[in-house]
C-alpha cells in the first residue's frame, strides 16, 4: 500500500490514495453498523405489536389478560403454572382483585414479562 506521511503543526498525517480512503470510510461505517446491531441484540429486549398489546393496554384492558392472550396461554394453563386458582386469575384479569405481590411476580415470570408490565 502506498502511503506518505506529512507533518504539519507538529501533527503527523497519513496520505493514502483516495480510493483507499473511500474504502476505509466504507469499512468504518460497516463496523459502526455491526457494533450498533450487536449492542441492540445484546439488550435482548422484546417488542410487542401495537395492535395485539399496546393498543389494548391503552384501551384499559388488564395487562395480565393482554399478555396471556398474546402468549396464547389459557387461563387454566397460566393459573396452573403460577400455582393459583383459575378463578383467582379471572378475578385479577377482570379487576375484581389486585393479586398479591408474590402472585403477580409468579404471573410475570410465567408470561416472561417484567412485573412493571403487569402493574
Give residue-wise pLDDT tens across range 62-105: 999 999 999 999 999 999 999 999 999 999 999 999 999 999 99
Q: Which of 3-12, 85-94, 105-114 has the lowest mean pLDDT?
A: 3-12
C-alpha cell read off for 14 = 497519513
Q: Nearest 10 degrees: CA dihedral of 20, 24, 30, 31?
A: 150
Is pTM beyond 0.75? Reply is no
Are 111 and 81 contacting, i.e. CB atoms less than 8 angstroms apart?
no
Query: Is residue 1 scored above 80 in pLDDT?
Result: no
Task: Compute the average pLDDT of residues 104-115.
Answer: 96
Give residue-wise pLDDT tens across range 16-63: 999 999 999 999 999 999 998 888 777 767 788 899 999 999 999 999
C-alpha cell read off for 75 = 387461563
Q: What structural domains and CATH numbers belong to the chain?
A: 4-43 (no CATH), 50-118 (1.10.260.40)
**pLDDT score, position 61:** 96
What are the residues facing 4 on neighbouring strands? Answer: 15
53 closest CA partner among 117, 104, 99: 117
Amino acid at each position: 500500500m502506498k502511503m506518505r506521511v506529512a507533518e504539519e503543526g507538529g501533527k503527523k498525517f497519513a496520505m493514502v490514495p483516495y480510493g483507499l480512503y473511500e474504502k476505509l470510510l466504507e469499512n468504518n461505517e460497516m463496523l459502526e453498523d455491526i457494533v450498533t446491531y450487536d449492542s441492540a441484540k445484546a439488550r435482548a429486549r422484546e417488542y410487542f405489536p401495537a395492535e395485539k398489546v399496546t393498543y389494548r393496554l391503552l384501551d384499559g384492558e388488564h395487562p395480565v389478560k393482554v399478555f396471556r392472550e398474546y402468549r396464547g396461554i389459557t387461563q387454566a394453563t397460566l393459573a396452573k403454572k403460577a400455582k393459583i386458582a383459575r378463578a383467582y386469575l379471572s378475578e385479577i384479569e377482570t379487576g375484581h382483585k389486585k393479586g398479591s405481590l408474590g402472585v403477580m411476580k409468579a404471573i410475570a415470570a410465567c408470561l416472561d414479562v417484567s412485573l412493571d408490565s403487569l402493574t
